[in-house]
Amino acid sequence: MGAMKETLGFQTEVRQLLQLMIHSLYSNREIFLRELVSNASDACDKLRYEALDKPELYEGDGELQIRVDFDPQARTLTISDNGIGLSRDEAIEHLGTIAKSGTREFFGRLSGDEARDAQLIGQFGVGFYSAFIVADRVAVVSRRAGLPADQAVRWESDGSGEFSVETVEKPGRGTDVILHLRADEAGGDGETFGELLSGWRLKSIVTKYSDHISLPIRMRREEWDKDKGEYRRLDDWETVNQASALWTRSRSEITDEQYKAFWSHLSHDGTEPLAWTHNRVEGRAEYTQLLYLPAKAPFDLMDRQRRAGLKLYVRRVFIMDDAEQLLPAYLRFVRGVVDSNDLPLNVSREILQESRDVKAIREGCARRVLGMLEDLAENQPEKYAGFWSEFGQVLKEGMGEDFGNRERIAKLLRFASTQSEGDAQTVSLADYLGRMKEGQEKIYYLTADSLQAARSSPHLEVFRSKGVEVLLLTDRVDEWMLSFLDAHEGKELVSVARGGLELGKLEDEEEKKQAEQVAQDHRELTEKVKAELGDAVKEVRVTNRLTDSASCLVSDEGDISGHLERLLKQAGQKAPPRKPILELNPQHPIVARLKDQIRRGEDGQAGDWSRLLLDQAQLAEGGQLEDPAGFVQRLNRMLLSISPPAA
């Protein structure tokens, strides 16, 4: 019952993808050939890998190759490979669904705006389904290596909603993808589908996109027929690409266009790479690395299941995709190839984890990537800014992950600050050091839930008045990162919301004495407020931190910050108990009045006022009140007592 034909429906996402792709990629239709050749090449790589253990899979045909052929009469274009092939089940699974992680999220982000979606789809990578850009019917005839000739599969679809599969015969292993070209109609580039049925045209597309493929891509040789005035196709096949893997060639022989084409092959990404580095490394570990920085974060960068890592080859033989051991996790946005001369061909993921060669490669790759970033930061700051906004959050993880390179990573960090404008993180630690005030000994920072909350934080008031810059940190990883960044270039980093205000030499002796005097003068007030607030605060004191606000909260040395406490709570984790210190601005009229009332013994409302000062401080740092209803009642009570309604 092998020949049984069945009809199946595409996964919803495939249907959506097909719909969208046919419309939005219309103007860049030639990429279908890149995708199909790329799949054919992957299929050959997989066969070569499986055959390491099972050489019989070659069935006497070890010369792996890709063929591109066309038939003008039938209006078909065929891409064939003698790679691993597909079984019937695999065809159903791989050519009817999308297995990529983040698929659902991707579809959720589509807007219905064709131009925007077209860009997104370029990022998503359309793969096999791009065949339907040019074809209104696609057949895939394939036999999995190792299966008998009568166990091949024929998959066919018109791309609307269903596909059929039936078991057929195929003597040679591997896959033929047969495209029935759409009826003629000029595309965005003025080319008709029929014009693809030309050896010259196909060759030019192959060289443009697939020259770097390491296997031979073959087409029928053509000869000029003088009498007929056209090309005549012969029966022998010629190789139309260079057929040597790009990374094995020397840098000087590779054009930027070729590097970019290889990037598209690696990433299936429509965007251009930001930068790349290509080196042959010799020494204890010998390998070639070709590493790319993407310009755009993939839509699933934050997806923990996401595949990441480099393609690993051993002496030109493809071993695996996404070998994450070849790069530290904080560089997981880098894509590329490592071709090792030392590893065994049968290397597995488990072996990779323990191998000392792999450790050397990982360190070598990390150094190269950091070098590439330093170069961008130094010489192409705009590109670096683009990189930072896409991947800065991930790079920050390196502060905790890569001790050996911590200094280098710290120099690559960029921050928002009281001197920067807008949301962009543009200030480096070097910029900050260069702008330090005379007598300033420390690097000041503030962490907050949002940039807006940071910018309006009362903690900044004294720094503003003294013209001292403060770094504003609002990313989720920042608190964690800061625990690995306590100093830079010998300057300590301190939070403006923790401990006593450490202005150092920014404050002269006179000011210090004055501050002590002020504290003395307000002892009665601070003691009373502390008594009213009881356990809600650790301490109450007056401060010279504030110029406009009445009060603020600070964390004691060694306690976690309010910001981190909120982050932990949001994440459903238990925060260590923390009691904030309430600081009062002695210059503020409310504080002055309360002091006065207490001095005169008219302190009937001191409890309400104390509470209000605490609540205000809580709100100003972006916190939430524990008892919002109580706050409202208290406030109303106080408002009424200040201005009684007119009789």
Annotated binding site for ATP: 35, 39, 81, 100-102, 123-128, 175, 349
- Minimum CB–partner distance for residue 81 and ligand ATP (Å): 5
- The residue among 43 and 429 lying less far from ligand ATP, judged by its C-beta, is 43
Torsion of CA 21, 24, 28, 30, to 10 degrees: 20
Residues 6+ apart with CB under 8 A from 473: 415, 416, 445, 446, 447, 448, 454, 479, 482
Give ∠ CA 517-519-525 in degrees, rounded to 5. 130
- Minimum CB–partner distance for residue 145 and ligand ATP (Å): 10
Long-range contacts of the stretch 454-457 (C-beta < 8 A, 24+): 454/416, 455/418, 456/620, 457/497, 457/552, 457/620, 457/621
Task: Provide the phi-psi class of 102: left if phi over 0, else alpha when psi is between -120 and 50, else beta.
Answer: left
Q: Site for ligand ATP (CB under 6 A): which residue of 14, 20, 21, 43? A: 43
Give the position of tokens 């210059």.
587
Binding of ligand ATP by 32 (CB under 6 A): no
- The residue among 307 and 578 lying less far from ligand ATP, judged by its C-beta, is 307
Window 174 to 213, contacts with ligand ATP (CB under 6 A):
175
* Neighbouring C-beta atoms of residue 452, cutoff 10 Å: 12
Determine the Cα–Cα distance for residues 471 and 445; give it in Å rounded to an integer: 4
Window 250 to 309, contacts with ligand ATP (CB under 6 A):
268
- Minimum CB–partner distance for residue 85 and ligand ATP (Å): 6
Q: Which two tokens stand for residue 288?
A: 């070639």
- Minimum CB–partner distance for residue 171 and ligand ATP (Å): 17
- The residue among 308 and 460 lying less far from ligand ATP, judged by its C-beta, is 308
- Minimum CB–partner distance for residue 63 and ligand ATP (Å): 17
- Minimum CB–partner distance for residue 129 and ligand ATP (Å): 6
Q: Bridge partners of 338?
A: 289, 312
- The residue among 81 and 532 lying less far from ligand ATP, judged by its C-beta, is 81
- The residue among 83 and 102 lying less far from ligand ATP, judged by its C-beta, is 83
Q: Which stretch binds ligand ATP (CB under 6 A): 36-44, 105-113, 147-155, 351-359?
A: 36-44
- The residue among 58 and 484 lying less far from ligand ATP, judged by its C-beta, is 58
> CB–CB of 240/199 below 8 Å?
no
- Minimum CB–partner distance for residue 54 and ligand ATP (Å): 17
Binding of ligand ATP by 402 (CB under 6 A): no
Binding of ligand ATP by 34 (CB under 6 A): no
Determine the Cα–Cα distance for residues 487 and 473; give it in Å rounded to an integer: 16
- Minimum CB–partner distance for residue 102 and ligand ATP (Å): 11
> CB–CB of 551/545 below 8 Å?
no
- Minimum CB–partner distance for residue 95 and ligand ATP (Å): 6
Binding of ligand ATP by 461 (CB under 6 A): no
Q: Which stretch binds ligand ATP (CB under 6 A): 125-133, 401-409, 434-442, 490-498?
A: 125-133
Determine the Cα–Cα distance for residues 354 and 520; give it in Å rounded to an integer: 63
Q: Site for ligand ATP (CB under 6 A): which residue of 102, 122, 127, 309? A: 127
At 446, the amino acid letter reads L
Determine the Cα–Cα distance for residues 76 and 277; give it in Å rounded to an integer: 40
> CB–CB of 222/233 below 8 Å?
yes
- The residue among 273 and 364 lying less far from ligand ATP, judged by its C-beta, is 273
Binding of ligand ATP by 328 (CB under 6 A): no
> CB–CB of 219/203 below 8 Å?
yes
- Minimum CB–partner distance for residue 177 and ligand ATP (Å): 6
Three-class HEC string of 394-409: HHHCHHHHCHHHHHHH
Q: Which two tokens stand for residue 501?
A: 């205000």
Binding of ligand ATP by 215 (CB under 6 A): no
422-444 core/surface letters (b: 16 or more CB in 10 A; e: else):
eeebbbbbeebeeebeeebebbb
Binding of ligand ATP by 125 (CB under 6 A): yes
Q: Which stretch binds ligand ATP (CB under 6 A): 39-47, 426-434, 490-498, 606-614?
A: 39-47
Window 95 to 124, contacts with ligand ATP (CB under 6 A):
95
**DSSP alpha helix (H) spans, 51-171:** 88-94, 103-109, 114-124, 131-134
Determine the Cα–Cα distance for residues 259 and 268; give it in Å rounded to an integer: 14
Bridge-based pairing state of the strands 335-340 and 442-447: unpaired
Q: Site for ligand ATP (CB under 6 A): which residue of 15, 28, 94, 307? A: 94
> Which residue lies nearest ligand ATP, judged by its C-beta?
127
- Provide the residue count of the chain: 647
Q: Site for ligand ATP (CB under 6 A): which residue of 18, 33, 86, 360? A: 86
- Minimum CB–partner distance for residue 305 and ligand ATP (Å): 15
Going from the C-alpha of 57 to that of each of 82, 145, 246, the distances in angstroms are 11, 6, 27
Q: Which stretch binds ligand ATP (CB under 6 A): 37-45, 149-157, 360-368, 564-572?
A: 37-45
Q: Site for ligand ATP (CB under 6 A): which residue of 84, 152, 472, 591? A: 84
Q: Site for ligand ATP (CB under 6 A): which residue of 69, 81, 339, 357? A: 81
Binding of ligand ATP by 318 (CB under 6 A): no
How big is the chain by its Cα radius of gyration, in Å? 33
- The residue among 86 and 525 lying less far from ligand ATP, judged by its C-beta, is 86
Q: Site for ligand ATP (CB under 6 A): which residue of 40, 181, 246, 537? A: 40
Q: Which has the closest alpha carbon to 616: 594, 643, 599, 598?
A: 594
Window 141 to 170, contacts with ligand ATP (CB under 6 A):
none
- The residue among 295 and 433 lying less far from ligand ATP, judged by its C-beta, is 295
Binding of ligand ATP by 83 (CB under 6 A): yes
- Minimum CB–partner distance for residue 125 and ligand ATP (Å): 4
Determine the Cα–Cα distance for residues 437 and 335; give it in Å rounded to an integer: 42
- Minimum CB–partner distance for residue 83 and ligand ATP (Å): 5
Q: Site for ligand ATP (CB under 6 A): which residue of 24, 39, 325, 616? A: 39
Q: Which stretch binds ligand ATP (CB under 6 A): 77-85, 219-227, 427-435, 453-461?
A: 77-85
- Minimum CB–partner distance for residue 147 and ligand ATP (Å): 13
Which residues are known binding-site members? 35, 39, 81, 100-102, 123-128, 175, 349
At 492, the amino acid letter reads E
Binding of ligand ATP by 409 (CB under 6 A): no
Q: Where are the beta strands (DSSP E) in 459-596?
A: 471-473, 487-488, 491-495, 539-542, 551-554, 581-584
Q: Bridge partners of 583?
A: 541, 552
Give the count of residues interacting with ligand ATP (CB under 6 A): 16
List residues near ligand ATP by CB under 6 A: 39-40, 43, 81, 83-86, 94-95, 125, 127-129, 175, 268
